[in-house]
Amino acid sequence: MNSHATGILPDLKPGEDNRRDTIVGQARRFFMSQGYAATRIEPIARAASVSTATLYAYFPSKEHLFGAVIEDAAHDFSRQMETVRLTEGSARDVLMGFALAYARFMGDPFVRSVFRLVMAERPRFREVAIGFFDKGRSDFGHPLILALETLAERGELRIVKASWAAGQLMGMVEHPVFFMPLVTGDEVQAERRPEQIASEAVETFLARYGT
């Protein structure tokens, strides 16, 4: 996401100003717990130990502040995914490394909270929501697609289209750790551990695409 594309995001980037980061951090907490409509600017300013005037100097409106919170969350997700390394080795080793990291990431309650907030406010912040999902798709899917293409070139996989195969692997991981808790308000949680979910997804994937 970028400020020029959405039209509401501030020009300052995370990390450039400590007060700005504090405001965004407190705003994230309020938006996550109360939702967009119920969140008010004054309590955020008090929690961030700044005046309301100072907050508005950074973010002219609640819309700008919400956009900054979502952008900040997207940067957090990117930083987490940067720690995922598609390891050298067999197809099983490479795919297991990705699947396990992806299962742990998508199973994080904070990740679900951000997605719920974005989906709830999508009609009001359509471009912000689209940018958020597009960035997530790129951060997660692109490295996996490249890895699948490499494994296919080495003769370890038989795939027609790497993006389709990547979506299938990610979907097998997402369903139990992310979508079930997401749609049930966290009332239904996966009974299997992330290691088991990742392992079973990889074995199913290899049964379909392995050589």
Query: What is the amino acid identity at position 14?
Result: P
Q: What would the pLDDT profile of 166-178 be if each residue is shown by its tens digit?
A: 999 999 999 898 8
Q: What would the pLDDT profile of 133-177 be if each residue is shown by its tens digit?
A: 777 777 778 888 989 999 999 999 999 999 999 999 999 999 898
CB 170 within 8 A of CB 145: no
Q: What would the pLDDT profile of 85-108 be if each residue is shown by its tens digit?
A: 566 789 999 999 889 988 888 888
Share of the chain above pLDDT 90, in %: 46
User: How far apart are the C-alpha atoms of 10 and 166, rounded to whole Å?
Assistant: 34
Two structure tokens written together for 6: 């959405």
Two structure tokens written together for 147: 């890895």
**Count of CB atoms situated within 10 Å of the CB of 107:** 20
